[in-house]
Structure 1
Amino acid sequence: MRASSVVSSMTFVSRILGLVRDVVFARFIGAEAGADAFFVAFKIPNFLRRLFAEGAFAQAFVPVLSEYRERGSHAAVRELINAVAGCLGSVLFLLTVLACLAAPVVAYLFAPGFAADEQKFGLVSDMIRITFPYLLLISLTGFAGAILNSYDRFAVPAITPVLLNVSLITAAVVISPQISEPVMALAWGVFVAGCVQLLFQLPFLARIHLLPVPSVNFSHPGVKRVLTLMVPALFGVSVSQINLLLDTVLASFLPTGSVSWLYYSDRLAELPLGVFGVAIATVILPSLSRQHTGADSERFSRTMNWSLHLIFLIALPSSLALLILAEPILATLFMYGKTTAADIAMSRLSLCAYALGLTAFMAIKVLAPGFYARQDMKTPVRIGIIAMVANMVMNLLFVVPLHSYWQVGHMGLALATAGSAFLNAGMLFSRLRRQNVWVSDGRWRRRFWQYGVANAGMVAVLALCLYWLPAWGDSLWWQRTLALALVCGLGLIAYVGLLVLAGLRMADLKHR
């Protein structure tokens, strides 16, 4: 619980700065063609950040590193780290060079709908040449963070993303007004952020005597095991992110602004997911790996139960609050400068759709480590393939009618992503239960009654507050901010107060 709190608090700082960054984006670039181009170019390294910094690489590397740490010497651990650093760095360097040389091809793969607009397509291609090296930098940053997490140094990797937000805010506010194409300043901000993030973590690796000296050695047994585990993990742990990326590809065929609307709504859905879901998953993976290595199945199951209890405690109210407060939050944060009331209305639709799937998104983050800690990569991959196919089918079922009749096809993309997330989470949970990896601790019936009472009370309070408050679009920015803070504060008080009245105590949330 203490480790999760450290990661959550550091991630919370990063996510708040991320919201500030998005407010700056809304003011300076809005939801116009240039904004769509930047969000596509930014989506590629951001997507890869989630794969490597929070996803597949950590899920494959941490169990192997934990096993070396438990059973081997410090020298063996150093040898593994040096070999992985050399192999990972060399492969990513070659990939980065190829992508920069073939930037128009990469642009077409990720945003084929932009090909009809020569100016927009050229802008995306130019920015990809600047942003794609972030893949190499952030992957090595994720590698350094995985080492620190394995040695229970959670705070440094959790606070590192703050540097990305600081760099982008500086680029938007200081540099973009000085150049003819403002969004190009943001692309350079991404590149600079990658350099700073990597350099920031190196001194902390040196403190634990694990600063890598890269050595390209693909024959090293540890490297082979990491690669074997990583290939399926790349897909299995990141299905929800791949679905979001496919949304961007399809959104490039929809009206101008669709990519931006999805971006702004996705960013708000990412706030609870990043602060809590990723934090809990980051903390439990090393513990689950050590418990599996020690053949302690009872503790393994208790850890899974504890993480799922926390997910439902946080995800359910977050999902309901985003559904009810979608327009007030979007208007308060983003309705400035070039972002119009119409953009807010469109973003609200996709935010509500993403909010429906928030519980599933967060559950996947803690269910997947139950497989990866046991070095079972095949099961999540099979489930991920099924979920991805289902997502594409639902895209056709939702996007076509919503775009044809109401011109809100982007909402259909978000609905399909949420639906496939529930399918993914449900299948992961079912498989863990059948394998007796997860065994109920006997508290679920009581907890769901407590959660139900608290969430019902919170919804009632939020609905009453919105009924009495004036239209958000008619208020000044400071009035919106104060009103939103008051509404959120009352909702939080209602939720926590009813949980206490229903019998939930802080001691129930601890896990030893």
Structure 2
Amino acid sequence: MNLLKATGTIGGLTMVSRVLGFVRDMIAARLLGASHANDAFNLAFLLPNIFRRLFAEGAFSSGFVPLFSRRLTSGGTEEAERFSNEILAVFMPALLLVTILFVIFMPAVLLVVVPEYGNTPGKLELATQLSRWTFPYLLFISMAALLAGVLNSLTRFAVAAFVPALLNIALIVGLLAAPDDDLTVVRYMAWAVLIGGIFQFALSWFAVRRAGIRLHFGRPRMTPAVRELVLLILPAMLAAGVYQISQLFYAYFSARLGEGALTMLSYADRLNQLPLSIIGTALGVAILPSISQAIARDDEADASDVQARAFDLSMLLTLPATLALMVAAFPIIGALYRAGDYSVEAAQTTASILAILVTGLPAYVLVKVLTPAFYARKDVKTPVTIAMTVLALSIPANFLLIPRIGIYS
């Protein structure tokens, strides 16, 4: 595998999606500002994405790709296809059950996560309505993540990297089509999330069929392959779950900081996530199949070589990006969001948050680059231990720092 070419393909298409995401945020900022309605939508959008990362992308891919690659190497396309269908038959009903339960009990969930929303008339009700519309997105995007695992294992990176752009396209269309009223705008956005997820799943399904893998929805059975994957991803889900719990605390703390806090934090984090996705995630996705196949061949030298090249390339690209975002935080935020209902004060606060966030960017990129080596070797204990340690430190730190420095904590 040509590491630079694979990373360039994934990173370039991820860049397209991220640019569309900024266009989406620019329009939303101009229409909604740092308002209660925008906070409610950002919360509704956060919830399915938390569970998407828990059930699908991180934990699932870390287990699925090595097992799929091993079967592809040892038994060819037919064995890999059989494995995928067995996983699909169990994965979809489990996700459907989770989706139904959360849609039914959404008011209780939000009262636990953001109890302060109940203090603003109509805000909790709006967040509940939007969350019930956006949460089924979890089902479609998680299925798309499974299909992306198949495509990435076959080193067909382009479609899987482009799929996220469809969500941003749907949201942009929803924003442009919505009447100029805050409540109507966020409702259009919530429906656009669900529609975007359907398109993401449909394109991924078509691409997998074009790649020669025939998937179908069969009867769920706990086969040896399914048991092997479950045993492998449960610890990885624990590691991912630790991070997603921290995201719930992120929503909880931001709700205590007043109107617009969640929106400003979200906009700053989107810019912080840009190099993380284009560099860190792209490299992590690109190297996991290669390391997994090298381990399957018992070729540790090749696996180490892939890891070392990814490490060097990640820092070569990340350090300049970190410096640029830190130095030019306010001009960048101002150019992207400062217009319409998004005030100068909100832009200044968002820029300060961004400058603080990017100080940890090189470390987060390295996490993305180093973690695949553990998963390829079926070592999930180390990432879990690290994730739990970080969570144990971050939650008390927020409780201590928020009264002193507020949103910047």
Q: TM-score, normalised by structure 2?
A: 0.95
Of 378, 381, 397, the residue aligned with 1:378 is 381
Change (3 A) 1:180 1:246: closer
Q: Work out the CA distance in 2 between the residues paired with 1:108 and 1:367.
A: 37
Letter in 2 for 1:55: G
* 1:120 partnered with 2:117: no
Q: Work out the CA distance in 2 between the residues paired with 1:179 and 1:356.
A: 34
Report 1:33-44 matches (<5 A).
33-44=36-47
- Aligned residue for 1:313? 316
* 1:274 partnered with 2:280: no
Q: Work out the CA distance in 1 between the residues paired with 2:277 and 2:248.
A: 17
The alpha carbon displacement at 1:68 in A equals 1.0
Indicate if the aligned counterparts of 1:240 and 1:361 stay in contact, CA closer than 8 A: no
- Aligned residue for 2:210? 207
* 1:250 partnered with 2:253: yes
* 1:236 partnered with 2:244: no
Letter in 2 for 1:396: F
* 1:410 partnered with 2:407: yes
- Aligned residue for 1:153? 156
Letter in 1 for 2:300: S
Letter in 2 for 1:202: W
The alpha carbon displacement at 1:116 in A equals 2.0
Counterpart secondary structure, 2:328: helix
- Aligned residue for 1:354? 357
* 1:399 partnered with 2:402: yes
What are the superposed Cα offsets for residues 340-373 of structure 1, whole Å, 9 maximum, x if unpaired?
Answer: 0010111122111111111111111111111111
Of 324, 327, 335, the residue aligned with 1:324 is 327
The alpha carbon displacement at 1:208 in A equals 2.4
Bigger Rg, structure 1 or 2: 1
Shifted more, 31-40 versus 54-63: the winner is: 54-63
Q: Work out the CA distance in 2 between the residues paired with 1:8 and 1:391.
A: 30
Letter in 1 for 2:407: H
* 1:173 partnered with 2:170: no
Structure 1, unmatched stretches of 5+, are: 403-408, 413-512
Letter in 1 for 2:41: F
* 1:387 partnered with 2:384: no
Indicate if the aligned counterparts of 1:40 and 1:110 stay in contact, CA closer than 8 A: no
Q: Work out the CA distance in 1 between the residues paired with 2:52 and 2:279.
A: 18
Indicate if the aligned counterparts of 1:176 and 1:185 stay in contact, CA closer than 8 A: no
Q: Work out the CA distance in 1 between the residues paired with 2:369 and 2:9.
A: 17
Letter in 1 for 2:400: L
Change (3 A) 1:123 1:110: same
Counterpart secondary structure, 1:263: helix
* 1:162 partnered with 2:165: yes
The alpha carbon displacement at 1:242 in A equals 4.5
Change (3 A) 1:358 1:266: same
The alpha carbon displacement at 1:122 in A equals 0.4
Counterpart secondary structure, 1:295: coil
Q: Work out the CA distance in 1 between the residues paired with 2:380 and 2:33.
A: 41
Letter in 2 for 1:213: H
* 1:105 partnered with 2:108: yes
Q: Work out the CA distance in 2 between the residues paired with 1:94 and 1:356.
A: 40
Q: Work out the CA distance in 2 between the residues paired with 1:138 and 1:271.
A: 20
Q: Work out the CA distance in 1 between the residues paired with 2:140 and 2:312.
A: 35
Structure 2, unmatched stretches of 5+, are: none
- Aligned residue for 1:188? 191
Shifted more, 102-111 versus 358-367: the winner is: 102-111
Of 286, 291, 296, the residue aligned with 2:289 is 286
Change (3 A) 1:169 1:321: same
Letter in 2 for 1:332: A
Indicate if the aligned counterparts of 1:322 and 1:351 stay in contact, CA closer than 8 A: yes
Report 1:217-228 matches (<5 A).
217-228=220-231
Of 194, 198, 203, the residue aligned with 2:201 is 198
Q: Work out the CA distance in 2 between the residues paired with 1:139 and 1:181.
A: 28
Q: Work out the CA distance in 1 between the residues paired with 2:179 and 2:375.
A: 43
Report 1:17-36 matches (<5 A).
17-36=20-39
* 1:45 partnered with 2:48: yes
The number of residue pairs the alignment matches comes to 406
Counterpart secondary structure, 2:287: helix
Higher relative contact order (CA 8 A, sep 6+): 2
The alpha carbon displacement at 1:209 in A equals 2.5
The alpha carbon displacement at 1:241 in A equals 5.3
Q: Work out the CA distance in 1 between the residues paired with 2:190 and 2:178.
A: 11
- Aligned residue for 1:366? 369
What are the superposed Cα offsets for residues 310-349 of structure 1, whole Å, 9 maximum, x if unpaired?
Answer: 1211221111111111110000000011100010111122
Counterpart secondary structure, 2:178: helix
Q: Work out the CA distance in 2 between the residues paired with 1:357 and 1:62.
A: 28
Change (3 A) 1:72 1:181: same
Q: Work out the CA distance in 2 between the residues paired with 1:211 and 1:352.
A: 47
Of 130, 138, 141, the residue aligned with 1:138 is 141
Indicate if the aligned counterparts of 1:55 and 1:238 stay in contact, CA closer than 8 A: no
Letter in 2 for 1:104: P
- Aligned residue for 1:77? 80
Identity %: 33
Indicate if the aligned counterparts of 1:53 and 1:145 stay in contact, CA closer than 8 A: no
Letter in 2 for 1:325: A
- Aligned residue for 1:263? 266
Change (3 A) 1:218 1:250: farther
Q: Work out the CA distance in 1 between the residues paired with 2:67 and 2:353.
A: 39
